[in-house]
């Protein structure tokens, strides 16, 4: 069974670090929730909707232990974000995490994004490295522009699969044409 989660209010998924710690002003917000986090959220919601006392304990033991064991069968195998453009029914687009090997940048004075790949070179050719792995490769680019900090976190499927197949995206893209930010 597939479940689509809609939120009328903002859902915040945290990594467990408390608010206010040095260097963690945002409370450790995660960009995309772990499957185990969503599974726990679903189990809790379903359990409490069946019985408000579902998770109560007596003498250190769960009162509704058998019911809780049933909830453990609920799992999240994979989670793929989807977007419904313009609220049009039955028109869903899958979104995929922006590839880590794609360098999204802006040319000076441009609003649109360009996407460039890295070249992978062996650092031993230049010397000064004593790593034990002789086949080690490091990503290198000839670009002087910095990566765009506001590039989309999720790409539409057509751009994502083009990148996977060809390793390049030709042209410039407005943010809304490349994907969506978290």
pLDDT bracket for residue 3 (50, 70, 90): low
Q: How far is CA 2 from the centre of its chain?
A: 19
Q: Are 122 and 135 in contact (CB under 8 A)?
A: yes
- Choose the weakest-confidence range: 25-34, 118-127, 137-146: 25-34
What token pair was written down for 94? 């899958």
Give the model's pLDDT for residue 101.
86
Average pLDDT score, the chain: 78
The model's pLDDT over 52-66, given as tens digits with 9 standing for 90+, comes to 888 888 887 777 878
| Residues of the chain above pLDDT 90, percent | 3
From 7, 5, 10, 12, select the one nearest 31 (Cα to Cα).
12
The model's pLDDT over 134-153, given as tens digits with 9 standing for 90+, comes to 777 778 888 888 888 888 88
Coil, helix or strand for 115? strand
Q: Are 99 and 156 in contact (CB under 8 A)?
A: no
From 126, 147, 145, select the one nearest 137 (Cα to Cα).
126
Give the model's pLDDT for residue 11.
67
Integer Cα distance of 164 and 149 in angstroms: 22
The answer to whether residue 27 scores a pLDDT higher than 60 is no
pLDDT bracket for residue 162 (50, 70, 90): very high
Integer Cα distance of 174 and 111 in angstroms: 7
Compare 79 and 24 and report the one with higher pLDDT.
79
Give the model's pLDDT for residue 176.
83
The answer to whether residue 25 scores a pLDDT higher than 60 is no
Q: Is 64 exposed, middle or buried (0-12, 13-18, 19+ CB in 10 A)?
A: middle
Helix, strand, coil in percent for the chain, rounding step 5: 25, 20, 55
Give the model's pLDDT for residue 161.
92
Helix (H) or strand (E) holding 164: helix 157-166
Integer Cα distance of 55 and 51 in angstroms: 9
DSSP 85: G
The model's pLDDT over 65-117, given as tens digits with 9 standing for 90+, comes to 788 888 888 887 766 777 766 666 667 788 888 888 888 988 667 788 889 88
pTM above 0.85, yes or no: no
């Amino acid at each position: 069974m597939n479940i689509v989660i809609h939120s009328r209010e903002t859902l915040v998924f945290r990594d467990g670090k408390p608010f206010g710690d040095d260097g963690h002003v945002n409370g450790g917000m995660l960009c995309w929730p772990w499957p185990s986090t969503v599974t726990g959220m679903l189990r809790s919601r379903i359990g409490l909707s069946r019985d408000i006392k579902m998770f109560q304990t007596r003498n250190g033991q769960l009162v509704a232990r058998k019911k809780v064991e049933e909830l453990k069968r609920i799992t999240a195998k994979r989670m793929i974000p989807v977007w419904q453009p313009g609220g049009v029914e039955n028109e869903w687009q899958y979104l995929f995490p922006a590839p880590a090997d794609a360098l999204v940048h802006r040319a000076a004075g441009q609003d649109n994004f360009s996407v460039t790949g890295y070249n992978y070179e062996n650092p031993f050719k230049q010397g000064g490295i004593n790593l034990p792995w002789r086949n080690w490769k490091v990503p290198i680019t000839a670009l002087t522009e910095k990566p765009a900090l506001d590039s989309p976190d999720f790409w539409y499927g057509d751009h994502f699969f083009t990148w996977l197949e060809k390793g390049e995206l030709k042209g410039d893209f407005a943010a809304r044409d490349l994907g969506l930010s978290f």
